[in-house]
């Protein structure tokens, strides 16, 4: 398999360069990439130091590294563009055509993408994260009337990170409730969930994957045994079908994909788009 090094470079957090870069490079499945993220390259001196690293990488690999950058300062860009690398300058690629179409000059402001917004979306995001943390693992079922969605599933199937992602990225108030053996014994919904059946969305997972995850937490216990995991997954999927609860298998999907699918199937509108 071919191997290449990809540098994601920014004068800010590097989130935009990394997200776009990984999305593009994911299309090349036959190439193994080593990702290197370099945020806050905001001076010529930092760029010159990084230039040495990039050129040394080119010599080591025997092939040009890739650079995907969101640097706005032209002097810093000139340093990076003198490197022995293949370069994709995100801002110049997209801003120049937009300037022509909009008949307006870009501000080329450093850190503009991820700055704290002046509207209420930032507060909404933080409030949603607090809600997800307060309502994690069935901690406060009395707040379910305020939830946009309630994720349910067996322990360690991915409920908590999915709730936090939806809160942080979309401002969604997401709670989660872990099914126990007692909950699944008679295939009835727990009392705390019955009034909010319309808000429920289930997660399931491959039993072998679940056993591996639980083994890291509690090795050698009944909780992490494959037999127990197979039983719990089977019973929770039967519960979903019995109560017509939509669910998705989290085994092979990223948190981003799971979250987007949940919002689409539940008809939940994002309060804002991810930054």
- Binding residues for ADP, by number, are 153-160
Give the single-character DSSP code of 106: -
- Count Cβ atoms within 10 A of the Cβ of residue 142 and give its class: 0-12 exposed, 13-18 middle, 19 or more buried: exposed
Q: Are 44 and 75 in contact (CB under 8 A)?
A: yes
Query: At 9, is the secondary structure helix, strand, or coil?
Result: strand
How many Cβ atoms from other residues are within 10 Å of residue 40's Cβ? 14
Which ranges of the chain would DSSP assign to H, the alpha helix? Answer: 15-25, 44-61, 74-81, 90-102, 121-134, 159-170, 181-185, 207-217, 226-242, 255-266
Burial class (CB in 10 A: 0-12, 13-18, 19+), 84: middle
Q: Are 54 and 65 in contact (CB under 8 A)?
A: yes
Asked whether the CA dihedral 92, 97, 102, 103 is positive or negative, the reply is positive
Q: Which residue ranges make up the annotated binding site?
A: 153-160
């Amino acid at each position: 398999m071919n191997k290449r090094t990809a540098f994601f470079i920014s004068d800010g957090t590097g989130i935009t360069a990394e997200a776009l870069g990984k999305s593009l490079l994911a299309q090349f499945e036959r190439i193994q990439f080593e990702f290197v993220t370099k945020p806050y390259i905001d001076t010529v001196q930092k760029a010159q130091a990084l230039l040495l690293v990039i050129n040394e990488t080119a010599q080591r690999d025997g092939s040009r590294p890739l650079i995907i950058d969101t640097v706005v300062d032209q002097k810093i860009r000139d340093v990076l563009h003198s490197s022995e690398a293949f370069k994709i300058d995100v801002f110049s690629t997209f801003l120049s055509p937009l300037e022509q179409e909009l008949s307006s000059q870009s501000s080329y402001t450093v850190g503009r993408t991820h700055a704290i917004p002046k509207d209420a979306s930032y507060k909404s995001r933080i409030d949603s994260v607090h809600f997800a943390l307060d309502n994690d693992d069935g901690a406060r079922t009395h707040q379910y009337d305020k939830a946009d969605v309630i994720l349910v599933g067996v322990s360690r199937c991915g409920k908590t990170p999915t709730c936090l992602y939806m809160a942080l990225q979309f401002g969604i108030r997401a709670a989660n409730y872990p099914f126990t053996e007692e909950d699944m014994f008679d295939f009835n919904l727990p009392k705390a969930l019955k009034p909010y059946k319309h808000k429920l969305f289930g997660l399931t997972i491959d039993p072998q994957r679940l056993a591996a995850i639980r083994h890291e937490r509690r090795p050698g216990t009944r909780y992490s045994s494959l037999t127990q995991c197979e039983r719990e997954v089977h019973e929770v999927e039967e519960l979903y079908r019995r109560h017509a609860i939509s669910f998705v298998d989290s085994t092979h999907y990223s948190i981003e994909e799971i979250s987007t699918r949940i919002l689409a199937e539940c008809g939940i509108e994002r309060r804002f788009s991810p930054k």
